Structure 1
Amino acid sequence: MSISGITSTALSGMRAQTARVGAIASNIANSSTLGYAKLSTSFTSVEPGGVQASVNPTDSDVDPATELTDLIEAEQSYKANAVVFETGAGMWEMLMSIKRD
């Protein structure tokens, strides 16, 4: 996989986790709203590499403890993708400095 492919895959992961956090925030904010349909996030891998998030309403109730656990998981996943993205960007910088010399 190329450096641009690595950074692109990491960026798609960060976008997917951002969508997940948005769904979690909506669930927590509307947990006491009558008739609110809990939002659930599902992930699909895309070619040539990466992930796409889909947010859909479900029939289940909002459990604040589960939402907070999911939020922690989303945070960790976002951070992991950010580290990969930063590493890829650093590799680009090193490659460009070698090319200039």
Structure 2
Amino acid sequence: MSISTMMGIAVSGMQVQTKRLAATADNVANALTPGYDRRVTSLTSLAAGGASASVRPSGETTLPGASNVDLGQEMLDLISAETEFKANASAFETGAELWDVLMSIKRD
């Protein structure tokens, strides 16, 4: 695996988590909206490496005059997405540092 491939995979992971955070933000913003159906994010691994995400309504039933958003679940999703984003950002930074090392070796 090349350094650029590793960095590309890390970028796709950060994009997936950004999409997941956006869906969580929508859920929190609409938690008190009657009839709102919580959005869920589905993650898919790509054959070439990396991941993709799709957001869809949960399809769960909503009570009349309420939504099906559980703020506790949204907080867990937020913490999980943040942790996974940080892990991908760390992998990306490692790749950038490796490029710097290779460039310094090439100059010497």
TM superposition score normalised by structure 1: 0.97
Offset at 1:88? 0.3
Return the match for 1:73 from 75, 80, 93. 80
Indicate the structure with greater helix content. Answer: 1
- Unpaired runs of at least 5, structure 1: none
- 1:35-76 CA deviation, whole Å, 9 max, x = no partner? 212100010011311000111111231100000011000000
Paired residue type of 1:4: S
Name stretches of at least 5 consecutive residues in structure 2 with no aligned partner. 61-67
Runs of 4+ in 1 over 2 A off after TM superposition: none
Counterpart code for 1:63? D
What count of residue pairs does the alignment treat as equivalent? 101
Q: CA deviation at 1:17?
A: 0.2
SS of equivalent residue, structure 2 residue 59: coil
Query: TM-score, length-normalised on structure 2?
Result: 0.91
SS of equivalent residue, structure 1 residue 21: helix
Larger Rg: 2
For residue 32 of structure 2, give the secondary structure of its aligned residue in structure 1. Answer: coil
